[in-house]
Structure 1
Amino acid sequence: MKIDPRTVGAQVRMRTPSLTPLEARVVDTMTGRADLDLTTSLREVAEEAGVSDAMIVKIAKKLGFNGYRDFREALVEYRQSDVASLHAEISPEDSAADIVRKVFNTAVQALEETMSILDMEAFERAAALLHRARNRDFYGLGGSAQIARDVAHKFLRIGLRANVQDDAHMMLMSASLLGPEDVVVAFSHSGATSAVLEATRLARANGARTIALTNYSNAPLAEIADVTLCSTAQGSPLLGENAAARIAQLNIMDAIFVAVAQRDFPTAEARLAKTMRSIGGKRDK
């Protein structure tokens, strides 16, 4: 089956952290070639990177491709796609309009690529687990905690309570009390945040089901979770990749919220009306 060109950039970014520094440098060399096309030879790339032909083939396979030719073709097609053209670096000379366009396009790219790689089976499993859970504990630090708070707020609107823990000690205490009927959603862009990892391991050891939301499919957090949902975003020296990735993760969780509500729509609708009435008088006229 032919690969969707929109997934290529995400596939490379998600697997690059598993490469050695040398291998990552070789990938940067290849992806940084503006003249890369279907005629670019293996020898040419290897000489430019200062490695053997075999090393290039090995790296291509570690990134999920059949070999150099498969990687080269996929990369060329990706560069020709509308999604790849969305990203542009911000420069000191940019006008306000340029900045807005580039920032918005980076977010659009993150959404398009995340949607293209989203594992629908994992998505459905996550929705099912959250719907039937007794307790829903959300773990995250910094920006990840903000995503957790956003989705916890949405769940409360339809009568599903969720606990947000953004402190290492609170996460561990929470995890120590969970059991087989409970679910943890662990938010970590890198998938390697030690406090989140430790608490998620403890929750799973106590029988709780675990869902990871991360930017890297082979991150430590993804390896210990029952279900993994991946976002993806292209890095930028000024914005970083976290900003765009947060937008993608918020959208994943918005979709999860809708999927959970849909499982008992009449009840969700009734509870939504009830919670909205409770704050109706508090809104500014």
Structure 2
Amino acid sequence: MQAENGKNSNPLVLISSNYKSMTKSEQKVADYINEKTKEVVYLTVTDLAEKIGVGETTVLRFCRKLNYRGYQEFKMAIAQSLVVLDEQIETEVKEGDSIDVMASKITQQNTKTLKDSLEILAFDSIEKSMTAITKANSVHFFGIGSSGITAQDAEHRFMRMGFNVYQSSDAHVMAMKASLVSKQDVVIGISTSGSTKDVVDAIRIAKENNAYVICITNHARSPITQYADVILLAASKESPLQGGAYSSKIAQLHVLDILTKAVEMERKDESFASIKKTAEAVLDKMY
């Protein structure tokens, strides 16, 4: 569970998920820490501010934005994360790696993605989402590109549990469906960047129609989160050239798997009955 003060989360993961919402000065702090992580644990707040060329207040504001009480608490978290950082360096795929070494490294990277996602996932957000979904007349999943495929997976899973569920990955269809929802409906927007315009626009329309909005994203403060009643964070770094990276997909599916299981257990009898019916419906489709 993500602690309110962030102490249980990897600070480097928190930096990544909050980076887009930072000021330019705060981003300079973030960039320096990402580049000189090992050096930071030996620097005072004054030393760090001078090396970066910002004021001490900027460093302190940066720490508080990540939910640390101050620089010392942040620095302690950095020190604790260095072991993880060393492990990450060892898992970087390099030219010349054999297939078995590459496979091992990718497995370790994906395992880290799952662990990081668990660190920043707030259990109370899962509970709020679960409660809203179980009471909803209908559930809608919106996503574009790779996130649209995740939305399809989610639709399939919730359909098997007996929900009135829909997914959309077309910008026009998303907008039209969003215009028809009401306060009895739940809309879940999936966007790794949190900045996919078509998804954000549809989420905004849904919110204007008083739907309960949940977003699954890698960035805690991004355009999509402005309209969300609940934010479910998934941890995975993705550059503009890596759109649809498998690690991002794994993180999204991991969060959805946790949410889906929570919903399934909350309405255990109904879910089991629906899963049984849908399984029996396709028995003659298999050898």
> TM-score normalised to the size of structure 2?
0.88
- Unaligned 5+ runs, structure 1: none
Q: Distance in 1 between matches of 2:244 and 2:77?
A: 22
Query: In structure 1, what residue type is equivalent to 2:75?
Result: R
User: For 1:118-133, what aligned pairs fall within 5 Å after superposition?
Assistant: 118-133=121-136
User: For 1:14-163, what aligned pairs fall within 5 Å after superposition?
Assistant: 14-33=17-36, 35-36=38-39, 38-81=41-84, 85-86=87-88, 88-163=91-166
Which is worse superposed, 95-104 or 240-249?
240-249
What corresponds to 1:199 in structure 2?
202
Q: Distance in 1 between matches of 2:244 and 2:26?
A: 21
Query: In structure 2, what residue type is equivalent to 1:210?
Result: V
Task: Give CA-to-partner distance per residue, 1:179-204, whole Å, 9 cap, x none.
Answer: 12111011111111111111111111
Q: Structure 2 vs 1, CA of residues 35 and 248 (structure 1 numbering), >3 Å: closer, same or farther?
A: closer
Query: In structure 2, what residue type is equivalent to 1:251?
Result: H
Q: What is the CA-CA distance between 1:215 and the residue it aligns to?
A: 0.8
Structure 1 vs Structure 2 CA RMSD: 2.5
SS at 2:39 equivalent = coil
Correspondent of 1:247 among 250, 258, 268: 250
SS at 2:42 equivalent = coil
> TM-score normalised to the size of structure 1?
0.89
- Unaligned 5+ runs, structure 2: none
The number of residue pairs the alignment matches comes to 283
Q: Distance in 2 between matches of 1:230 and 1:49?
A: 29
Tell me, yes or no, if the aligned pair for 1:189 and 1:214 is still in contact at 8 Å.
yes
Q: Structure 2 vs 1, CA of residues 39 and 269 (structure 1 numbering), >3 Å: closer, same or farther?
A: same
SS at 1:163 equivalent = strand
Query: In structure 2, what residue type is equivalent to 1:134?
Result: N
Identity of aligned residues (%): 28
Correspondent of 1:265 among 268, 271, 279: 268
Task: Give CA-to-partner distance per residue, 1:10-64, whole Å, 9 cap, x none.
Answer: 2111111112345323322223226426433344434443444444334333333
